[in-house]
């Protein structure tokens, strides 16, 4: 199978986001969702409105997110809307909590564990999606990037528990760990197949490389320097490129993030997504600097 193209720049600016999108050679059409993590209040690891605003506006995009399945300030629609406003996203674009009015069941064809993936019902209102992900560590997934953003990130509250619990929502925090990682790949596959590969583009911002994710209200401060921004039409290759960049970094502070990724076997989500045919792990890295 041919290598995927992954574009990269060290520049983390709105102008760089524009250049990366143009390099992808895709024109997202119709009503475009811009999937981000709105970030747990108290933390500051989420992608900042000033960075993502110009590209979102250019695409006439709607920022989309779903409620969380853990206790916090985004696990109810009412509190989540407050968080979205506090973090400045309503100032740059229309926003949509996709599971505010319910969920939509997507079939998982030939998945590892799941037969259905439950996503926010409003997903049906969009024709295309730009997936903007903050690449960083994660308490359970090892790291969070594009694959997590379109699996856990697009799942409804029930859907998140369904993925975490390997099909048994009541086992949200107790299911077999590798099976959970495989379920994230299952869920990502269903979303890619629902929207269509030609209707999705992916950008990962590798800055504020904390071992903790945007969902943590008190994330650990980063121990390594920012790397840059990556973009691809292949979410598997994109996440693989970000992982490789962490290992290749000359920054000795990378040890903490590598330990987080390895201790949670985070690469297994990428391995499984590749096995499921979502994308490929081999890529050509194209520098835009």
| DSSP conformational letter for 123 | G
Record the tokens describing residue 49, joined without a space. 């409105």
Q: Which pLDDT does position 218 carry in this prediction?
A: 67
Q: Which pLDDT does position 140 carry in this prediction?
A: 94
**pLDDT tens sequence across 88-120:** 999 999 999 999 999 999 999 999 999 999 999
| Spacing of C-alpha 88 from chain mean position | 19
Q: Which pLDDT does position 215 carry in this prediction?
A: 67
Q: Which pLDDT does position 42 carry in this prediction?
A: 75
Reported confidence tier of residue 281, pLDDT bands at 50, 70, 90: very high
Residue 85 in this model has a pLDDT that exceeds 80: yes
As a whole-number percent, the residues of the chain with pLDDT over 90 amount to 90
Counting the structural domains of the chain, the total is 1
User: What phi and psi values does residue 250 have, to the nearest 5 degrees?
Assistant: -80, -5
pTM for this predicted structure: 0.97
Q: Under 8 Å CB-to-CB from 126, ≥6 apart: which residues?
A: 30, 31, 32, 33, 62, 64, 195
Residue 219 in this model has a pLDDT that exceeds 80: no
Residue 14 in this model has a pLDDT that exceeds 60: yes
In the block, tokens 């990037």 appear at 145
Residue 217 in this model has a pLDDT that exceeds 60: no
What is the pairing mode between strands 142-144 and 136-138?
antiparallel
User: Domain of 49: which CATH number?
Assistant: 3.40.50
66 lies in which domain range? 4-287
């Amino acid at each position: 199978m041919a290598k995927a193209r992954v574009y990269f720049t060290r520049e983390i600016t709105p102008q760089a986001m524009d250049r990366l999108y143009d390099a992808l050679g895709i024109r997202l059409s119709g009503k475009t969702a811009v999937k981000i993590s709105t970030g747990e209040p108290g933390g500051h690891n989420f992608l900042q409105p000033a960075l993502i605003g110009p590209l979102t506006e250019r695409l006439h995009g709607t920022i989309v997110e779903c409620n969380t399945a853990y206790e916090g300030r985004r696990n109810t629609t009412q509190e989540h809307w407050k968080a979205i406003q506090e973090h400045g996203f309503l100032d740059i674009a229309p926003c949509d909590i996709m599971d505010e009015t319910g969920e939509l069941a997507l079939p998982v064809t030939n998945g590892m564990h799941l037969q259905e993936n439950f996503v926010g019902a409003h997903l049906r209102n969009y024709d295309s999606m730009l997936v903007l992900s903050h690449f960083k560590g994660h308490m359970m997934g090892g790291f969070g990037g594009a694959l997590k953003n379109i699996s856990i990130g697009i799942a409804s509250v029930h859907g998140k528990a369904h993925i975490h619990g390997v099909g048994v929502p009541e086992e949200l925090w107790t299911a077999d760990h590798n099976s959970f990682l495989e379920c994230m790949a299952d869920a990502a596959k269903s979303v890619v197949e629902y929207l269509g590969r030609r209707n999705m583009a992916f950008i990962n911002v590798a800055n504020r490389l904390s071992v903790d994710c945007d969902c943590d209200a008190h994330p650990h401060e980063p121990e390594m320097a920012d790397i840059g921004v990556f973009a691809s039409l292949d979410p598997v290759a994109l996440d693989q490129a970000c992982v490789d960049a962490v290992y290749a970094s000359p920054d000795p502070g990378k040890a903490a993030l590598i330990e987080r990724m390895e201790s949670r076997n985070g690469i297994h989500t990428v391995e499984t997504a590749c096995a499921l045919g979502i994308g490929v792990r081999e890529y050509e890295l194209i520098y835009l600097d």
